[in-house]
Amino acid sequence: MGQLADVRPSMIRAAQAAPYLEREDEKSLAIRWRDNRDDQALHKLAHAHMRLVMAIASRFRFYGLPVPDLIQEGHVGLLEAAARFEPDRDVRFSTYATWWIRASIQDYVLRNWSIVRGGTSSNQKALFFNLRRLRAKLSRHGDVSTSAAFAEIALALGVSRNDVEMMNARLSAPDVSLNAPLTETDSTGDDERMDFLVDDKPLPDETVGGQIDSNRRVTWLREALKVLNDRELKIVRERKLSDGGATLESLAEKLGVSKERVRQLESRAMEKLRKALLDRHPGEFAGLNA
């Protein structure tokens, strides 16, 4: 119990004083809880296994979280085990409850160890809780390169080497506040990490709004183009609405007219478009009067 020095002495004494249950007593309490929802039976069953909860919680004390909180989460797992336990099967409750207690504590560690959520898959969880142990084991076996160690750990846990490298980086560095000074020597704190994460791109609502406006104006332009005759429409499309834009000389050759005539037709077509847009949407194209 020396590992649980920061746990309240009263909690430790209560766990130590709890009687061990014989198989038949344990089964009887489990049946009373399952069939009759007897709260007293549940209390006795849970109380008798608090030593187990504390023992499992102590294995996770190196993750920097309060041991009493680990014990509390383990107790949640213990109650979950009691709710799911089938006393008619030939399995001791402690054996069944161990998995639920450990799973509950592991979930708590993953939720609170870092502000960045990680270890959501079963492989990532196994990597999170076993990487340090396997890394220490390999280091005791001699001079093993980091690359070789990562490869062995990946093989042992059935994960990719890239996953091992990423998890190792996460476990090796603590969380850093975005409001912390950019450098340790910056005593004024004027430059924060947050200052260098500014995104100059438009906000999502601005992007969507711009896209909606653009689509609306394209629709208005298509309607306005209907006022042009075929030759004017061809000139406007090739001069204004195509990539690169055709030259007056090339259009004059295609249409069999002079370059000056093409310029005059283009000018007339643009005036007709301006008038059509102003007549139909005066508020949106007020600037076209200039």
Percent residues over pLDDT 90 in the chain: 29
Q: SS3 sequence, 96-156?
A: HHHHHHHHHHHHHHHHHCCCCCCCCCHHHHHHHHHHHHHHHHHHHCCCCCHHHHHHHHHHH
Q: Which residue is it, tokens 């020597």? A: 185
Could you give the CA distance from residue 83 to residue 76 in angstroms, rounded to a whole number? 11
Does the pLDDT at position 190 exceed 80? no
User: Does residue 50 form part of some domain?
Assistant: yes
Question: 181 φ, ψ to 5°?
Answer: -55, 150
Same domain flag for 28 and 99? yes
Residue 287 near residue 246 (C-beta atoms within 8 A): no
Same domain flag for 94 and 136? no
pLDDT per residue as tens digits for the range 137-150: 777 766 566 777 88
Over residues 248-264, mean pLDDT: 90
Interacting residues of 74 by C-beta distance below 8 A, sequence separation 6+: 53, 54, 56, 57, 101, 102, 104, 105
Query: What mean pLDDT, rounded, does the chain reach?
Result: 82
Residue 226: which of 190, 191, 273 has the closest Cα?
273
Count other Cβ atoms within 10 Å, centred on residue 131: 20
User: Does residue 254 form part of some domain?
Assistant: yes
Could you give the CA distance from residue 30 to residue 36 in angstroms, rounded to a whole number? 10
Residue 4 near residue 12 (C-beta atoms within 8 A): yes
Same domain flag for 24 and 87? yes
Residue 108: which of 141, 73, 82, 84 has the closest Cα?
73
User: Does residue 179 form part of some domain?
Assistant: no
Same domain flag for 107 and 19? yes
According to the model, what pLDDT value does residue 9 have? Answer: 75
Could you give the CA distance from residue 37 to residue 196 in angstroms, rounded to a whole number? 58
Could you give the CA distance from residue 84 to residue 145 in angstroms, rounded to a whole number? 46
87 forms beta bridges with none
Same domain flag for 81 and 143? no
Does the pLDDT at position 116 exceed 90? no
In three-state secondary structure terms, 192 is strand
User: Does residue 181 form part of some domain?
Assistant: no
User: Does residue 142 form part of some domain?
Assistant: yes
pLDDT per residue as tens digits for the range 149-160: 888 888 888 888
Report the number of distinct structural domains present in the chain.
Answer: 3
Distance between start and end Cα atoms, the chain:
87
Interacting residues of 240 by C-beta distance below 8 A, sequence separation 6+: 270
Residue type, 135: R
According to the model, what pLDDT value does residue 289 have? Answer: 59
pLDDT per residue as tens digits for the range 1-52: 445 555 667 777 878 888 889 999 999 999 999 999 999 999 999 999 999 9
Confidence of residue 75 (pLDDT cuts 50, 70, 90): very high
According to the model, what pLDDT value does residue 208 have? Answer: 82
Residue 9 structural domain: 2-112
Residue 127 near residue 105 (C-beta atoms within 8 A): no
pTM of the model: 0.53
Largest CA distance in the chain: 109
According to the model, what pLDDT value does residue 268 have? Answer: 92
Indicate which CATH number applies to the domain containing 105: 1.20.120.1810
Render 199-260 in DSSP notation, one character per residue. --SPPHHHHHHHHHHHHHHHHHHHHHGGGS-HHHHHHHHHHHSSSS---HHHHHHHHTS-HH
192 forms beta bridges with 181
User: Does residue 228 form part of some domain?
Assistant: yes
Could you give the CA distance from residue 7 to residue 4 in angstroms, rounded to a whole number? 5
> Rounded to the nearest 10 degrees, how much is the dihedral formed by the CA atoms of 140, 144, 149, 155?
-90
Same domain flag for 65 and 150? no
User: Does residue 186 form part of some domain?
Assistant: no
